[in-house]
Amino acid sequence: MRSAFDYMPALDGMRGIAILLVMLFHANEQFFKGCFIGVDIFFVLSGFLITVLLMKEYDNRKSISFKNFYLRRVLRIAPALFFLLIIYCGMSIVFLGKQKAISNLIDASIVISFMANWSRAFGIHPPDFLGHTWSLSIEEQFYILWPITLSVLLNNINSKKVIAVFVFLIALSSWALRIYLVYQGAPIKRIYNGLDTRADALLIGCVLGIMLSSDVFSDTVEKKLSKFLFFITPSAIVFFVFVSVCMDWKNKQMYYWIYFIIEMCASFLILDLFVNKKSMIRSILSMKWLVWIGSISYGLYLWHYPIFRLMKSLDFEFTAIFTIGTILAFMFSIFSFYTIEKPFLRLKKKLRHS
C-alpha cells in the first residue's frame, strides 16, 4: 500500500469537490439543497489528514508536540481569517450604520473565538454574513481536544487496532447522541451545529488515519479491500449525487442515518485512493484544475459565503450570484492564498519537520 504519509494530489482534488458543493449550496439552497454534504466530506478528510500527521510524528519521536501542533494550526487558519475579518469589520464601520456595524463586530469576535457553531446552535447572536464559519469553529474545537486524546491513547494502549476501535466507538456515540436529540425533539440547528453531534464525521476520518498509519492492512486484506471497493466506491458516488439533489439539511432522516452513511462513503473514497492502484477516482480527483481548486479551498470557503450573502441581500438573481459572486470569491481567494497564506504555509512546513 502506498504510504499514507506521501502527498497525494487526489486529496486536494477531493477538497476541490467539497468546496464546489458547498458553494453551489450557498448560491442557491433550493436548487442545490443537498450540496451541504461538502462540509461532511471536509470533516472526514480533515480528521484523516490531521491524524496521519500526528501518527507520523508519534512514530518518529514517540511523542506529540502540542506546542508545534497548535502553532501549525494558527499559521494555517489565522492569516487568511484575519484578512477576511479586517476587511469585513472595516467595511462595516465605513459603510454601515452604528448599530449594524456593532452587530457585525460582535459577529467577528464570535468567529475569532471559534464559537460560531454554538452561537448558531443556541441562537445567541448567530453570525449573519459569517454564518458559514460554524464548521471552522467545530474543526478548531475538535483540534484542541484531538491531539491530547490521541496522545493519551497512544501512550496507554499498545495496539493501534484497539485504538482505532475505541475511536470508532466514540464516533458511534456521537451518532447515537444525534439520534437521541432528534428523537427528543431538540432544535435542528442545535444538532446541526453542535460539536458533540457532528464529531463523528471528524472521528471517522481519524479512525481511517490511524488504520492507514499502522500497517493494519496485509497484502491479503488489501486485495479483498480492492474487490470490495470496486463495488462500494461507485455506489458511494451515486449516493452522494442522490443526497446532493434530493435531501434537505433539516430533514430528520439526515440525522438518524444519512449523515453517518455520508461519512462512511467519504472514508471509502479516501481508502480507495490508497488501496486501489488503478483507481479511476484517483485519476479524476488528480486533475490539475481540481487539485488547484482544492489548494485554495480555504480561501474559497472563507470568502464565498459573505459575497453570496451580500449579493442576496441586494436582490441579485441566482445567475449573477453564481457567476459574478463566484468570480469575486476566486479573486479574493487567489490573492489570499498567494500573498497571505503561502508564506505562513512555508513556515508551517518547517515546524512540521523541526
Q: Is residue 3 part of a domain?
A: no
Is residue 2 a part of any domain in this protein?
Answer: no
Query: Could you tell me if residue 208 is inside a domain?
Result: yes
The Cα 215–Cα 224 span in angstroms is: 15
pTM of the complete model: 0.94
Q: CB neighbours of 313 closer than 8 A, spacing ≥ 6?
A: none
- N-term to C-term CA, the chain: 27
Minimal CA–CA distance to 269: which of 8, 19, 86? 8
* Whether 332 contacts 305, CB under 8 Å: no
- Pairwise CA distance, residues 81 & 114, whole Å: 11
What was the pLDDT predicted at 219? Answer: 63
Please check whether residue 236 lies inside any domain of the structure. Answer: yes
Cβ pair 4, 267 in contact under 8 A = no
Rounded CA-CA distance 264/131 in Å is 27
Give me the number of domains the chain comprises: 1
Across the chain, how many H-helices and E-strands are there? Answer: 18, 0
Q: By C-alpha distance, which of 3, 163, 144, 166 is closest to 74?
A: 144
3-state secondary structure of 1: coil
The parent domain of residue 58 ranges over: 9-353
The pLDDT tens digits along the chain (354 residues) read 544 457 889 999 999 999 999 999 999 988 899 999 999 999 999 999 999 999 999 999 999 999 999 999 999 999 999 999 999 999 999 988 899 999 999 999 999 999 999 999 999 999 999 999 999 999 999 999 999 999 999 999 989 999 999 999 999 999 999 999 999 999 999 999 999 999 999 999 999 999 988 776 666 666 777 778 888 999 999 999 999 999 999 999 999 999 999 999 999 999 999 888 777 899 999 999 999 999 999 999 999 999 999 999 999 999 999 999 999 999 999 999 999 999 888 776 766 655
Task: Report the pLDDT value the prediction gives residue 93, as an integer from 0 to 100.
Answer: 94
CB contact at 8 A, 207 and 260 = no
Cβ atoms of residues 321 and 308 within 8 Å: yes
